[in-house]
Amino acid sequence: MRRWLAALLLLGAGLAQAQQQVPTFRVNVRLVNVFVNATDAAGAPVANLTREDFRVSEDNVAQEIKIFEKQSEQPLNIVLAVDTSGSVRKDWQPEIAAATRFLHGLMRPVDKVALMEFSTHVREVVPFTNNPKLLAAGLKDLRGGYATAMYQTVQLASQDLRGMAGRKIIVVISDGGDTTHGTTYQDAFRAAIGAEASVYSIIDVPVEASAGRELGGEHALITLAEDTGGKFYYAGDPDKLEAAFRQLSSDLRTQYLIGYYAPERPAADEFRRIAITVKPGAAASGQINLRYRPGYYAPHSASE
């Protein structure tokens, strides 16, 4: 009996030692989710594409699509950021009315919206909620100021959205032009990309550029939208504002979700560029235009 027991103990010790000597290999991968809008030459949504119609690459290396959803039903997480500086104060009432109707028509029980106002400072008026009545009350509680902290607003909104599940959207209503110091365009862009958030800019000026008008702020709103896979709309009067919100609502309801696993590479904190195309003849509509975020910043470490 003692011999059997000794043999079993020796066998157990040998197995334990062998397990300790077996090398462990770890493969770190990152799930990259990209929301894609597809439109035809006339700007109408193309809703009949399939997984097989899309091609995805990261830094010119083809990737296998692992996740695909049509007309994504994933939750919407929206930060509605309203410019309340002096230059747009005359348009508050139409903006409040149009934004209220937009939220009532768009929101589902799974969606969440937060309301921010920005002028000299940024203020969270209503934290994330799915209660349109709270948001409507918040829209009536805007206070106003003088300067325009637009870049800081996008940065803070992105920080709030980071880590939330589903689609992440920042809707900025402004006439453009950041007039504060401390936060740059690059800070705002990097924060939005890091949060996987798309910026939708509703530009509160006429489409026709009047002589001598400062266009820098408009260009910043346009570029920020384009660089994050969002879109921009001009809304210089109540009718155009209503149309902008209708188009925005349609845009958010007709998206594809494409996901792939990108293996971790040695270099961190670098921008990795995503390219998505559709194969020729993928839809009967002919020309297809795609809009999506252009890439992401690699994490500092595998633990992030």
Residue range 215-257, pLDDT digits in tens: 567 888 999 999 999 999 988 777 888 899 999 998 888 899 9
* pLDDT tens digits, 122-177: 999 999 999 999 999 999 898 888 888 999 999 999 999 999 999 999 999 988 77
CATH class as words, domain 76-253: alpha beta
pLDDT at 7 over 60: no
Question: What CATH number labels 29-71+255-297?
Answer: 2.60.40
Residue in the structure block whose two tokens are 């203020």: 123
CA 161 to chain centre: 9
pLDDT at 298 over 70: yes
Distance separating alpha carbons of residues 145 and 82, to the nearest angstrom:
12
For residue 82, what are its two tokens? 């309203």
Distance separating alpha carbons of residues 230 and 291, to the nearest angstrom:
7
Nearest in space to 126 (alpha carbons), one of 160, 95, 154, 94: 160
Same fold, 29-71+255-297 and 76-253: no
The continuous run of DSSP H or E covering 58 comes out as strand 54-58
pLDDT category of residue 4 using cuts at 50, 70 and 90: very low
Distance separating alpha carbons of residues 7 and 117, to the nearest angstrom:
75
* Res 15: pLDDT: 44
Q: What is the pTM assigned to this prediction?
A: 0.83
For residue 12, what are its two tokens? 């157990």
CB neighbours of residue 167 within 10 Å: 21
Distance separating alpha carbons of residues 199 and 222, to the nearest angstrom:
9
For residue 287, what are its two tokens? 């020309």
* pLDDT tens digits, 15-27: 445 444 444 334 4
Distance separating alpha carbons of residues 67 and 257, to the nearest angstrom:
7
Nearest 5°: CA angle at 244, between 226 and 293? Answer: 20
Nearest in space to 176 (alpha carbons), one of 199, 157, 204, 154: 204
Give the bridge partners for 208, in sequence order: none
> How distant, in Å, are the alpha carbons of 37, 69, 84, 102, 249 from that of 255?
5, 8, 31, 18, 11
Higher pLDDT, 102 or 266: 102
Q: Which residues contact 278 (CB under 8 A, 6 or more apart)?
A: 38, 49, 53, 54, 55, 288, 290
Q: Where are the domains of the chain?
A: 29-71+255-297, 76-253
